[in-house]
């Protein structure tokens, strides 16, 4: 299950605003029973903020990493409702999703605020899963690549090569998130190749070859294998299908082991 050029596959589940503390504990307990001791892919779950401590404890000693769904760029202060890097680190969280399309759509995220969050995460030793993606209108008007290029360059502004090496990219076409629509494997592959080339232009070929690029957008057990067969798709950022332990476990076993 090794991706092209030695990149280790990475499957992450984004729970969004689902699951209570009790449901989180139950899920991870069930999910651990479905996992091999040494999965052939890196695995992460991103529960809501109130469930992070429970998730970290429930996943301890397992291959499952716990990610946050967002982070603020200031270390502390009068920022009601926000959560800092230090707060997440104190819980044992080492990964964070940044720039998800729902944050951009509903909560005013911009390329500039995404960049501030990325740099804060990196400076505090959190590894970002940086989300990029176009809307249906942008795709139909032929602006997919220009939109993604702007999102990428904006998010990575001022990020050093050493820090860039710690970032995972996630391509999530907005029109395919929670809609049941999925980019064909060929469509997704085309975009992943483009993003890898953008990474190379901003940094170098070695870093571009090493960066993992996940696909997100209605990933399910029945399409995971076809998506992962593409040479530049290194994993998945899974939404709704990560909410049931048995379904998410099937995605991890996309090659049928």
Judge whether 100 counts as a catalytic residue: yes
Lookup result for tokens 């899963």: 129
Q: Which residues contact 176 (CB under 8 A, 6 or more apart)?
A: 182, 183, 217, 218
Give the integer Cα–Cα distance in Å for 169 and 146.
17
User: Rounded CA gap, 133 and 147, in Å?
Assistant: 8
Out of 100, 102, 109, 198, which one is annotated catalytic? 100
Q: Are the beta carbons of 45 and 15 closer than 8 angstroms? A: yes
Burial class (CB in 10 A: 0-12, 13-18, 19+), 14: buried
Please pick, among 102, 109, 172, 198, the residue that the annotation labels catalytic.
Answer: 172
192 included as an active-site residue = no
In 3-state terms, what secondary structure has residue 175?
Answer: helix
What's the rounded Cα separation, in Å, for the pair 13 and 67?
A: 9
Catalytically active residues are 100, 172
């Amino acid at each position: 299950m090794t991706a092209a050029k030695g990149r280790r596959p990475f499957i992450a589940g984004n729970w969004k605003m689902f699951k209570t503390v009790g449901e989180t504990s139950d899920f991870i307990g069930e999910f651990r029973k479905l996992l091999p001791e040494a999965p052939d892919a890196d695995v992460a779950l991103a529960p809501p903020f109130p469930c992070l401590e429970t998730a970290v404890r429930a996943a301890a000693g397992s291959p499952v990493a716990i990610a946050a769904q967002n982070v603020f760029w200031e270390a502390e202060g009068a920022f009601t409702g926000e959560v800092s890097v230090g707060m997440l680190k104190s819980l044992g969280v080492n990964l964070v999703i940044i720039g998800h399309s729902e944050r951009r759509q509903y909560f005013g995220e911009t390329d500039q605020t995404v960049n501030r969050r990325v740099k804060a995460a990196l400076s505090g030793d959190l590894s970002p899963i940086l989300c990029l993606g176009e809307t249906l209108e942008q795709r139909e008007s032929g602006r997919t690549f220009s939109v993604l290029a702007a999102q990428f360059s904006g998010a990575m502004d001022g990020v050093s090569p050493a820090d860039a090496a710690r970032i995972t990219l996630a391509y999530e076409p907005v029109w395919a998130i929670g809609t049941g629509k999925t980019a064909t494997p060929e469509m997704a592959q085309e975009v992943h190749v483009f993003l890898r080339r953008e990474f190379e232009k901003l940094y170098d070929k070695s870093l571009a070859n090493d960066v993992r690029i996940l696909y997100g957008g209605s990933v399910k057990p029945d399409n995971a294998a076809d998506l992962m067969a593409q040479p530049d798709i290194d994993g998945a950022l899974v939404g709704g299908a990560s909410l049931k332990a048995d379904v998410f476990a099937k995605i991890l076993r996309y090659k049928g082991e």
